[in-house]
Amino acid sequence: MKKFVFFIIIFLCIYSSQLTTYAEESEQLNLKSEGVALLDSDTGAVLYAKNANEKMYPASLTKIATAIYAIDKGNLDSIVTVSENAVRQEGTRVYLIEGEQVPLKKLIQGMLINSGNDAAVAIAEHLDGTVEQFAENLNIFLKTKIGVSNTHFTNPNGLFNENHYTTAMDMALMTNYAIKNPVFAEIFGTKVLDWKGQSWESTLLTHHRMLKGELPYPGITGGKTGYTSETKQTLATTADNGKIRLTAIVLKSEQKNDKYNDTSLLLDYGFHAYQHETIKQSELFTTDKKEFYPENDTLITENVTGVIKKVNNQGLLSIENQNGRVVQSIQLKYKEPAKSKVVPEKKTPSKEPTPSMFQINTVVAMVIVVFAAVLMGVRKKLIKKY
């Protein structure tokens, strides 16, 4: 069982390099929206959550997913031929006409900035042939590429369907993923765009009142609005105060102003309560005599009042705030213990016993005696001869 859990952790680590977990907030903000998620845009740390995993309807926030899927998969310079089906879409449009040919990037702009439902369908049909096939492919993309777990989309624009749902957390993950793409980030943050279509010329203004400046808030970098009568008000917002970047999602607000007020409260909280810190690659974390370390210098999000760092037996480091809530989790690497070097025993070559000095002297004496005897014998023979 322990091995199974370990392999699950490793899989999640490979997929996402950083795992994020959260609990319901002990710091209660006075929020009216039913579903809320506030993430650090860079680390993915979950800073605030309210009913974040409950299924809700996103309305036009769906277009965030459609846009990043189109940017990832499509050729932005490709020409899209608008179908009759796209033209017949209800709600907000950019007033395309059947047979009109529009570059893919321009349709993404019209879809995100002016929330064009007709542009969204034209994009879907261009990429995958039909809206049905697009929805199937989009759902696969969101699960495998981004890692959502409670999302199912049936169309590219967010028009109400009981089987078209997501959660605040999944929507935050989608937005976080998307804003890392420079093309998406540029369009997501566009306030004004001149639009020249075959039947409609206009100046498009973002519908997001904080981004537009109608409800001033410093550091807003992008946003998307959503509404249907069944879905209620929805809002996605990104912001940067120069020290930390935030992604805020609010779902199911009754009144339009509620979603903006809630977003302001979330951003205020995130900017004042959290900051960045770096865990160095050389830093070691120990548990049960095991040592773990980050594979690289790793950016973390910590509460300004301090954090608690805990590592488990599998090397999963939890960054907790002072209330014990896990803000961020990071998979560390196991440090192999230094192997002790085994010095092989030196085999002493066997030696013949060394003769003692007495033995040597005895042998030498015998040799001398023998040699002397031989000389004496030779001398006697020589005397007799002569």
Give residue-wise pLDDT tens across range 131-149: 999 999 999 999 999 999 9
Does residue 121 lie in a domain region?
A: yes
Does residue 207 lie in a domain region?
A: yes
C-alpha distance across the termini of the chain, in Å: 113
Domain count, the chain: 1
Helix, strand and coil content of the chain, in percent to the nearest 5, comes to 35, 25, 40
User: Alpha-carbon distance 292 to 298, whole Å?
Assistant: 14
User: Alpha-carbon distance 158 to 35, whole Å?
Assistant: 17
Does residue 359 lie in a domain region?
A: no
Does residue 77 lie in a domain region?
A: yes
Domain range enclosing 72: 7-277
**Residue-wise pLDDT tens digits, 243-279:** 999 999 999 999 999 999 999 999 999 999 999 999 9
User: Alpha-carbon distance 168 to 5, whole Å?
Assistant: 27
Does residue 350 lie in a domain region?
A: no
The CATH number assigned to the domain holding 247 equals 3.40.710.10
Mean pLDDT over 52-79 rounds to 98
Question: Which run of H or E residues covers position 272?
Answer: helix 256-273
* Helices (runs of H) and strands (runs of E) counted in the chain: 11, 18
Which pLDDT score is estimated for 160? 97
Structure tokens at 314: 């599998």
**Residue-wise pLDDT tens digits, 22-34:** 434 446 899 999 9
Catalytic residues: 60, 63, 115
Structure tokens at 175: 């937005």
Which pLDDT score is estimated for 344? 64
Q: Could you say which DSSP state residue 152 is in?
A: B
Does residue 45 lie in a domain region?
A: yes
Mean pLDDT over 162-180 rounds to 98
Type of residue at 278: T
Does residue 162 lie in a domain region?
A: yes
Does residue 104 lie in a domain region?
A: yes
Confidence of residue 337 (pLDDT cuts 50, 70, 90): confident
280 has a pLDDT exceeding 70: yes
> What is this structure's pTM?
0.80
